[in-house]
Structure 1
Amino acid sequence: MRSLRWLWIPAVLVVLALAGEWWLSQRPGSRVAAAEDPSIASVLKNPDVIARGRYLAMVGDCVSCHTAQGGEPYAGGRLLPTPFGNIPAPNITPDADTGIGRWRFDDFWRAMHDGIGRDGKRLYPAFSYTSFTKVSRDDALAIFAYLRSLQPVRQPNASLQLRFPYNMRSALMVWRAMYFKPGAYQPDASQSASWNRGAYLVLGLGHCNECHTTRDAWGGAEAHAALSGGQIPEQDWYAPDLSTRANGGLQGWNRQGIIDVLKTGQSPKGTAIGPMADVVASSTQHLSDSDLGAIADYLQSLPARRTPAPPPPGIDSAVLADHGQQIYAQRCESCHGKQGEGVPGVYPPLDGNATVLEPAGVNAVRVVLLGGFPPVTDGNPRPYSMPPYAQQMSDADVAAVVTYIRQAWSNRASAVQERDVVTYRHTPID
């Protein structure tokens, strides 16, 4: 009977949401645009502030979410998939009717810091205000100045595509109480300036936690699991644990390796592919060397992780691995080496590779099926890519070769089953 009490939670949330929707419907609509404070208006026109805002917008990778494929930068139109439905990213160019042309800086600051829109409505956390709340007011002002300097693009925002009851913004009142605590980043006086800068970038504007942390059934990041890895909803891609210490996803990575992969997309330990390739291409490759070093300093301070639990019984991984070794020798060995050592600067190593070893096995499966495409960067303008094998290998063969790779050499990851390959083969690419 005790467990039945949990069945009341969805009902209570719906009742609260309906009550909240009625209350919101009684409130006035969007506020009339007011004049910007004169002291802020002059700052918004400062070329140095605009230039700094451009850099900070790249740190936050704002363009990736707020640009539709083939569309104008920052003009919105992209649908962000979530387990609850699609959320359209809005137009943030300074168009007066469809963008942020009527916004004052106070409106922008409230959105970044408090997750509240100009119309007073709570924003959905697909806009990562749970991280952006840590951004300083001065940095937010610079970003706003840059966005206001862009060419206005008239592009109406798409409609929300969330299922009931998630389409009722009033339900966010409960979600925010559980998962959101506003507050700018507070430096740790016991740490170096570089470490604090790295923490500010990783936890705030860089919003790394939004992907690299496990989320629960309500879409909230698990507080105890910050940066310890998690499967990205609706993409079937695993963002690895970012600890470089024992049992971490980047175990054995040194400071320079982290800098290299963020700057060029390649390092001696692995290559940026999947969603991270897009992040490197549009964001991290443009960061200053000092900021990349600061990020590396912070990540190297993350604690060691617990020893992972042994794989469940009942999977005969030895048979899978034997078959997979034969496939590896035929299709993979010529590039990645007999010992999974790869070719430096050309083909990534598979021995000790974070993409190979992540807990779910989804990344390696999807690379075998769909190919591996590192980002094109200034430091690596012509990267070598891996061809897709979806049309050449059966689900059983993919499961076998991925299992072999995950258990060969020094790798000690769990086996991948054929049913998993079936699932990941049919996942759409965003």
Structure 2
Amino acid sequence: MENNKIDLLIHNIGLLITMQEGDKPRTGSSMSGVGDLKNGAIAVQDGKIFAVGPEEEVRAQLAGMAITHELDAEGRLVTPGLVDPHTHLVHGGSRENELSLKLKGVSYLDILAQGGGILSTVQATRQATEEELFLKAKGSLDTMLLYGATTVEAKSGYGLTLADELKQLQVAQKLNESHPVDVVSTFMGAHAMPVEYKGREEEYVDVIIHEMLPEVKRRGLAEFCDVFCEHGVFTIEQSRRILSAAKELGFGIKIHADEIEPMGGAELAGELECISAEHLLAASNEGFAAMQRAGTVAVCLPATSFNLRAKNHARARTMIEVGVPVALSTDYNPGSSPTESMQIVMTLGCLNLGLTPEEVLTAMTINAAYAIGRADAVGSLEVGKQADIVVFNAYNLAYLPYHFGINHVNTVVKKGEVVVSAGCLCSQAFDSSAAGAAHAKAVR
């Protein structure tokens, strides 16, 4: 029987940005075409977009249909839900003690060599219980949602043993089941070399390939595999071995490439046809060309280069000019980018990467969705897609990166349900899923 009811109508939208996608990530000048229209409306049915466009046209489509709930946007800016395609959401501890080292000029790799950095977080994550990791990560996920992120990628990589990597991935899975935000999991056992394998690095690579990857796949705990290909971490050949093995098992593959030194990681991303390559501060023009040929999305992380006080930032402007699709992300993690705010990244994307507000939003919506294999469901406001929508306390797009350091979100709709209202979490949204209720009961 035909459903003759609309669950939610968002109307009186001053500026509606639809980001209608096409069939591939945006590149070049197309990153500036955001599909904006004035006086818009969005109709939602069964968690998906039923109609979107000028309000007059949408209301004409709804003639004769009952509307359960109407939301007046009061002339505000409305965009697709933001997609954060690179985070290290699940981890133990924090690393504020490293701030003084950075201020004294100690480099990221030097801190890591001294047993700090990632290895410090590994120790804290191994010591944390699954419940402790869940509650900590849930707090961060709540903040991400409050700032407009409705889909988030989460990498493991702070366990570096099979049991501890599985622990991280199980937490991410439970969050995906119990939290309004969609969590897309990436296995990253190749995030650092464990101290217990010092001098036996190839043995650890074998453990990843022959023990960790098959077990993660068997349990269905991750969709992607990522490797930190960097001097002093994993070599090009080690990265190639791990990613090739992951690809054979059916994982999508990603790579932390050329963050600090030019290693040829971007070239490897193109060679292996990675879905995305991340960081890329030191990537070469040859690497960009390889990524362009492969259709690999460049995930740039301007909050990381800002926080590391890097002299240079990712050459996003060059990437766009040569036809590489660019996405932006927080890289939320306890060391190099301890922020959950995609809105801070908007500002840094403009000021440090030289992107326009339109390019920034493209990079945080449809291109970010492509970077995690979710463009069929999220990243744009189109009929049939998930109703993931943000209403901002702004009336034009440029205001978001211009007025920085605050949260502009007024309302967030996730799968058709209002989960943030007047800048506050709606508690009923967190109680609606059986998995969420069961877990809440278990941890009380």
Structure 1-normalised TM-score?
Answer: 0.27
Normalized per residue, the structure richer in strand is 2
Structure with greater contact order relative to length (CA < 8 Å, sep ≥ 6): 2
Bigger Rg, which one: 1
Give the TM-score, by structure 2 length: 0.26
